């Protein structure tokens, strides 16, 4: 593993189904993030985690949950998917979170379609 | 009004041309500014930070005008490989820490 990996690469999902998007980083970064990217809206933060064991809500958290059991993994769960959650999802990480800015490195993305 | 606004383009320019993108932001308390590059169907990657005094990295020059709340990116001697979407990113500090706000991006197409 080098950098950030996401799985799956793409997924078509029936509405109402539960889905977990996986994200793993091997850079020992403290902070991790989940964004969604939609045409005309740019990248929007869903949830973040400044360090293992803590999480916070971003700009568009409704319908999503996250956990951060360890430094490397930051899964994003859609408990009951809806068509409006069709999007490209990017996981990102940075050396530190909080008020100190470090460059955010992005994973390759997951293309999710909810029918 | 969006927090960060960019002209979506596309900007179609010939190879070797100079092209400039502007970005405006609405939060006067914004602290830091960046340009990210995103290739088609790929993830965003940091291109450069934008400093108050302006900064240059090879063919790329970034400028910040705090009074007018805009950021610019100038690309000289455009290459085919510069074709991408350029995202303007603004950092502000909130109760939860850093908040990065991304513009929707400006698409650049460099042609032969």
- Mean pLDDT taken over chain B: 92
* Residue B97 pLDDT class (50, 70, 90 cuts): low
Q: Measuring CA to CA, which residue among A42, A35, A92 is closest to residue B105?
A: A42
Residue-by-residue pLDDT tens, chain A, 115 positions:
579 999 999 999 999 999 999 999 999 999 999 999 998 888 999 999 989 999 999 999 999 999 999 999 999 999 999 999 999 999 999 987 766 667 899 999 999 999 9
Cβ–Cβ of B96/A56 closer than 8 Å?
A: yes
Q: Say whether residue B46 is in contact with chain A using an 8 A CB cutoff.
A: yes
| Cβ partners under 8 Å of residue B14, min gap 6 | B78, B110, B111, B112
Question: Which residues in chain A touch residue B93, judged by CB atoms under 8 angstroms apart?
Answer: 99
């Amino acid at each position: 593993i080098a950098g950030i990996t996401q799985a799956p690469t793409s997924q078509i999902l029936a509405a109402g189904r539960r889905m977990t998007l996986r994200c793993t980083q091997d850079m020992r970064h403290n902070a991790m993030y989940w964004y969604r990217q939609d045409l005309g809206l740019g990248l929007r933060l869903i949830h973040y985690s400044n360090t293992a064991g803590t999480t916070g809500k971003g700009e568009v958290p409704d319908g999503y949950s996250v956990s951060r059991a360890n430094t490397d993994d930051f899964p994003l769960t859609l408990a009951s998917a809806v068509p409006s959650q069709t999007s490209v999802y990017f996981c990102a990480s940075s050396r530190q979170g909080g008020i100190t800015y470090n460059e955010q490195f992005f994973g390759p993305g997951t293309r999710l379609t909810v029918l | 009004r969006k927090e960060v606004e960019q002209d979506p383009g596309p900007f179609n320019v010939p190879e070797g041309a100079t092209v400039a993108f502007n970005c405006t932001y609405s939060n006067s308390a914004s602290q830091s500014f960046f340009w990210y590059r995103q290739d088609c169907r790929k993830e965003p990657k940091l291109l450069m930070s934008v400093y108050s005094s302006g900064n240059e990295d090879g063919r790329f020059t970034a400028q910040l005008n705090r009074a007018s709340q805009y950021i610019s990116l100038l690309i000289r001697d455009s290459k085919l490989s510069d074709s991408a979407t350029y995202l303007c990113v603004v950092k502000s500090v909130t109760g939860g820490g850093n908040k990065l706000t991304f513009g929707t991006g400006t698409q650049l197409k460099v042609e032969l």
